[in-house]
Amino acid sequence: MENEEIERIKKTLEDHEKRIVKLENLLVSRPLIIEKKLSIKEFILSKNPTNDSQKTLAIGYYLEKHEGLPSFNVKDLEKGFHDAKESAPENINYKVIVNIQKGYMMESKEKKDNLKAWNLTNSGEKSVESDFEKEK
């Protein structure tokens, strides 16, 4: 009886060893990549905006593309400036109007938290993605 028990334990250990080797081989062949979320500050620094209108547009882009917001309002933009450790312009609404006039933003069909909300236009997305190349 003792020999049978020892053989059973031995077989279990061998099975465990095989499973561990298989898992180790999987890890070696496919290294674990941990992707850190890009912070709003890092994002703005990477885009190098030169004025408050560009910063406002970049923050709107970040909110849509990285935070997944369908639209954003003045409070979202204020929070974005704060989170990026940037001083917010005195009148964010005016910076949005400048971007609307350039065709980079448009008013959203629906309000957000009872406030006017905006979206980026295709041109606005391209402007941010090109690091504001047309405006330099």
> Which parts of the chain sit beneath pLDDT 70?
1, 31-32, 136
**44 and 85 belong to one structural domain:** yes
Q: In this predicted structure, what is the pLDDT of residue 23? A: 83
**63 and 49 belong to one structural domain:** yes
Q: In this predicted structure, what is the pLDDT of residue 47? A: 97
Q: In this predicted structure, what is the pLDDT of residue 136? A: 59
**67 and 90 belong to one structural domain:** yes
The whole-angstrom separation of Cα 133 and Cα 47 is 10
Q: In this predicted structure, what is the pLDDT of residue 84? A: 97
Which CATH number is 123's domain given?
1.10.10.10
**86 and 114 belong to one structural domain:** yes
User: Any idea what the Cα angle at residue 111 is, between residues 105 and 112, rounded to 5°?
Assistant: 95
**89 and 67 belong to one structural domain:** yes
**44 and 70 belong to one structural domain:** yes
Q: In this predicted structure, what is the pLDDT of residue 43? A: 97
**73 and 126 belong to one structural domain:** yes
**46 and 16 belong to one structural domain:** no
**Contact predicate 77/54, CB 8 Å:** no
**26 and 86 belong to one structural domain:** no
Q: Which of 133, 36, 50 is nearest to 86 (CA)?
A: 50
| pTM for the structure as a whole | 0.74
- Number of domains present in the structure of the chain: 2
Q: Write out the residue range of the structural domain in which residue 118 sits.
A: 40-135
**23 and 51 belong to one structural domain:** no
Residues 6+ apart with CB under 8 A from 127: 57, 104, 133, 134, 135
**19 and 55 belong to one structural domain:** no
| 131 conformational bin, left if phi > 0, alpha if psi -120 to 50, beta if neither | left
Q: Which of 122, 101, 39 is nearest to 130 (CA)?
A: 122
Tokens representing 89 are: 């312009």
**71 and 5 belong to one structural domain:** no
